[in-house]
Amino acid sequence: MTREVIDVESMASSSNDLGNYLQTVGGIYAVLLAFVVYVVWGQFNEARGYVEREAAALVDLHRIASGLASGPQKQIQDGLTEYLDAILADEWSAMAKNDEATIERVGQRLDRVWLAIHRYRPNEECEQTIYGEVIARYNDLADLRTSRLTSARFRIPMNMRILLYAGALIVVGSMYLIWIPKWWVHATVTGALGGAIAHILYLISDLDNPFDGQFQVDKAAYVRARRSFERNKNLLDDAACA
């Protein structure tokens, strides 16, 4: 392999020292990569958990509200339906783009559900018990929404990104200093190392935004919740007719 900058004999005589250097630098960088992958994968799973739990909280609140008087019941359930439809139609893409205006507009739909709950005044003891459950479920829903939005806003700090990409350049670039007599072997080893690091960096970048990219949280939980709303409504209509 032709060397234009560094003398071949100098590299060959220093191969052991250069090997120890690359092993040390590569080991440090590997630990950094493993740490960042662990963090972004954990955040991705947390975001997925918040989505599943928020969808379940929506279904629970919709069902429990069925025990209230017909007026407040309809206001709450219609408000939840509008909120869920807005998540599917608008907020999901807004989270990927950090579109705070759209997120705020969708949040106002949930605020209107709270107003319907707040205005209701239960009379009987049974209604008071159900009303207490409705408030508790709404609070759980609001907390889960906050957690979901927080997970959507969180990103790897820019300083960490610079460190990741600078480390990749240093590790792969250091392969130039390693003396391997056959060019094709040197090229294969360098290409494999660069490809592996590039794939990991791509994975980190994609998982860093859990609601966008190739690997993203599935919104199927909200779709299932929407179908559950329809089933609950149909059951109530059938019971009223009976």
Tokens describing residue 205: 């970048």
pLDDT tens for each residue of 137-176: 999 999 999 999 999 888 888 999 999 999 999 888 877 7
Q: What is the pLDDT of residue 226?
A: 93
Q: Which residue type is seen at 103?
A: I
DSSP string, 173-226: HHGGGS--SSHHHHHHHHHHHHHHHHHHHHHHHHHTSTTSSSS---THHHHHHH
What the block records as the tokens of 183 is: 């060019």
pLDDT for 240 equals 46
What does the pLDDT read at residue 174?
79
Residue 105 in tokens:
């507009």
| pLDDT at 30 > cutoff 50 | yes
> pTM value?
0.81
Give the percent of the chain with pLDDT over 70.
Answer: 89
Spatial contact of 236 and 70, defined as CB atoms under 8 Å apart: no
pLDDT at res. 2: 43
Domain boundaries, the chain: 8-237
Kindly state the average pLDDT of the residues 27-56: 93
Q: What pLDDT sits at residue 127?
A: 78
What is the pLDDT, as a whole number, of residue 242?
44
Rounded-to-integer distance, Cα 171 and Cα 190, Å: 10
SS3 89: helix
CB 75 within 8 A of CB 116: yes
